[in-house]
Structure 1
């Protein structure tokens, strides 16, 4: 079996789709059943091992010279330009078409929603439908392009993958996809995310002016659909003593439609001691997770919610939102609040911060439940999809 994988998302700093692509590729490379994995990015083709080595070199360079935030801003700006998605697709489809004969026997896996032209069998991962449910939180050009292209992908793909049953059911109920054509495969968290003793995390935390077990943490793109405004309201409503003891730390690159949100964050940095970490190298993230007292992720909608699993695996108690994919995979091993409910989020935060035993019980429950998920499991179940297509 030969695989063709789109790796355009492997540009540091990684987004959620980039994390998915990277870890899936690493684990698929360990599967003996796969004869070859070829990758393409921006019109260039390379073997999987070469692609991974190139990513590792880029990641080291980005970590040594933290240019990740300007890169993310530039990427966001380019994506928002008129006709950007249409032009990019046309150029890369043309390049892929020129290699069609060479790769016609490969199973083409598109990990980033929209299939490109391919003569052979294909599978696409549909991570979420936020551009349909929350179009106001995405650039208009991206929404228009995705709405045009998604039906074509749903029709062309031999099989589809979603990261949760929540998204699978949306494709079946709202887009007419046959149930036997779409499979839910949960993500995993990298092995580097694990509990740390204070002496393990503190050397890294000191660089950010943080103390182990003395801050609240949010990790994700800073954009409205992640519920950042709700989190800011809830944290500001905490008693002053709690807020001073546990400052809120935001770690994430800029996202979509966030100009007013970023202005508010700047004001709270001055008035309330909010901490915004502009860039956190990937090697520092495990310590940042493990050193937090509570991880808070009040996203309104997610395909999976990978930061929640990473925090659980780091042994940190988690608060997230009910009626979402996070509630689906985490269940009662995390604390759940209603989407957009600021008062309830404040209550849950205060209850955890004032009760060490409660925090510890939730941390243990999350850590235990996180063992049900791994990127190896994700890769094995994805390989089952490839087998089904080939057969």
Structure 2
């Protein structure tokens, strides 16, 4: 029997994070999956007719007749609401939580950082988990994780039976692929960059991403190498980032760092493909989309040797310990200068990244709906 689905889309916004990208791929691809009869979208317990509108900045739009009707219905007695929601066979909360009205459903847990690294999350985020996460788990029939590493963590943390937790890897979009320098120059010139003339880290600026350690190691590289190949940081500032931002400002003044903050989605593939090296020293991730996007772009990649990153890069990336500064410096220098490693890493990265696709991710999710 084909499934009617309610999908929660709180994570959608004009500036997509990794979780937002995952939710957007589900939102646009689920309606055309063979086992799906229909998909409705909910955000903060309000019905959304078109999730695409959530990706666009601008004035508040006029609500559709469907949204107005559903908002009216949501205020009706519970028995009437239950008759409406009974038509839907699956409710999926792809960003940790189920909607309040859902008596049962599926959730996606991307990582357990709010529990493992609570100091790196804002107080309101920690309060939300304290107040709502246990209640959501009590209504959850099945959990999706985005890596096997996190699946094992979630089983141990929640006590869910292993057959109630499924790992489904995320994907990489077709816009991430190798590009010739002449294709890159028009985009990179607007950022003051040249193809092959910089290393790249795409990351939120916060402690567990180990940006401070990256700066410390980069400062120890030979001066001529730093000048020839500055490190470019792209990403929004996160929680507890003030000290890191001060270190970054010092590095910018010294001339070997560029901080370009949030990059528009249309320009991101060129930024990846133009990098000489991609570095991702984060010590805790659920999946880690940026390294896979870099590998799909044909860029040699270095990641931390911890959490899910060895799993998802599958031997194609150099593994380093960002907390061991001497090793980190040696690995960065090799990543920039060792042409033999660089060639083999680029080829291996392309092969591994080819195994990840959003089409497969959504297909496996829809198949899971069908089995429940």
Cα deviation, residue 344, structure 1: 1.6
How far has the Cα of 1:135 moved from its partner? 1.1
Alignment of 1:149-188 (within 5 A): 149-188=132-171
Q: Which residue of 2 aligns with 1:291?
A: 274
CA distance in 2, matches of 1:373, 1:175: 27
Aligned residue number for residue 13 of structure 1: 15
Deviations 1:297-336 (A, max 9, x none): 0001000101111111111111001122111121211000
| 1:363 correspondence with 2:365 | no
Q: Using the alignment, how far apart are the partners of 1:379 and 1:35 within structure 2? A: 15
The 8 Å contact of residues 229 and 256 in structure 2, kept in 1 or not, is answered as no
- Tell me how far apart the structure 1 counterparts of residues 281 and 81 of structure 2 sit (CA, whole Å): 44
Q: Which has the larger radius of gyration?
A: 2
In the TM superposition, residue 25 of structure 1 has moved relative to its aligned partner by 1.9
- Is 1:130 aligned to residue 113 of structure 2? yes
Residues 256-271 of structure 1: matches in 2 within 5 Å? 256-271=239-254
Question: Residue 288 of structure 2 aligns with which residue?
Answer: 305
Match of 2:84 among 88, 92, 102: 102
Counterpart residue number, 1:117: 100
CA separation of 1:109 and 1:254: change in aligned 2, threshold 3 A: same
Q: Aligned pairs, how many?
A: 354
State the distance in 2 between where 1:376 and 1:316 align.
23
Structure 2: tracts of 5 or more residues without a match:
60-70
Number of the residue aligned with 2:25: 23
Question: Residue 116 of structure 1 aligns to a residue in which SS?
Answer: coil
Partner of 1:236: 219
Distance 1:95 1:271, change over 3 A: farther
Shift of 1:55: 4.1
1:35 match: secondary structure: strand
Shift in alpha-carbon separation, 1:333–1:102, aligned structure 2, 3 A: same
Superposition TM-score, scaled by structure 1 size: 0.86
3-state SS of 1:188 partner: coil
In 2 relative to 1, CA 33–269 (structure 1 residues): closer, same or farther, beyond 3 Å?
same
Shift in Å, 1:259: 1.1
Does residue 248 (structure 1) correspond to residue 231 (structure 2)? The answer is yes
**What's 2:195 paired with?**
212
CA positional deviation for 1:30: 2.3
Q: In 1, are the aligned partners of 2:279 and 2:303 still within 8 Å (CA)?
A: yes
Secondary structure of the equivalent of 2:247? Answer: helix
Question: Comparing both structures, which one devotes a greater share of its residues to helix?
Answer: 1
Contact kept? 1:303, 1:325, Cα under 8 Å: yes
Match in the other structure for 1:32: 34
Contact kept in structure 1, 2:45 and 2:99, CA below 8 Å: no
Q: Equivalents in 2 of 1:222, 1:120: separation in Å?
A: 37
Q: 1:155 to 1:266 in 2, by over 3 A?
A: same
Normalised TM-score (structure 2): 0.90
Contact 1:108 1:118 survives alignment (8 Å): no
Corresponding residue number in structure 2 for 1:225: 208
- Determine whether 1:383 maps to 2:345: no
Q: Which moved more, 1:140-149 or 1:269-278?
A: 140-149
